[in-house]
Amino acid sequence: MKRLFSLALLTTLFVAATGVQAAQPDTGLTGCAAKRSAIENQLQIARDKGNSFEVSGLEKALKENTEHCTDASLRKEREQKVLDARHEVAQRTKDLDKAMKKGDAEKINKRKDKLAEAKKELQEATDELDR
């Protein structure tokens, strides 16, 4: 069951990454209902564009969401994502500190960029908690 849900989630993410502008859920919805609404909106866009591949993937994602998504499981998944992002920020901070001790300007800049990206992902994960 979790495997199917993950597959549906990956399919949805793939569709969003292939150039289709991610549709926003209807206002006032949270949790699985918001997720379902966003998938339905994406599905309508894909149908309007006549993209049968996207339609197929989104229909599968919608079915998985309807059958397996619970607000509790979604919340737990999102909380885990926040924890993982916090761990990543901590690791990137340590990496930056090491680079600063060595004094290599190029490595310091790389580490700063990676830390900034990790912080951005943490903020996105935190924002996602309330949706």
Helix (H) or strand (E) holding 48: helix 31-49
pLDDT of residue 48: 96
Task: State the DSSP code for 26.
Answer: P
Q: What is the pLDDT of residues 98-122, one digit of tens each?
A: 999 999 999 999 999 999 999 999 9
Q: Among 15, 73, 68, 65, which Cα is nearest to 44's?
A: 15
Instruction: Give the domain ranges of the chain.
Output: 2-69, 74-128
Cα–Cα distance for residue pair 125/47, rounded to 1 Å: 30
pTM flag (> 0.85): no
Q: What is the pLDDT of residues 64-97, one digit of tens each?
A: 999 999 999 999 999 999 999 999 999 999 999 9
* Per-residue pLDDT, 60: 97
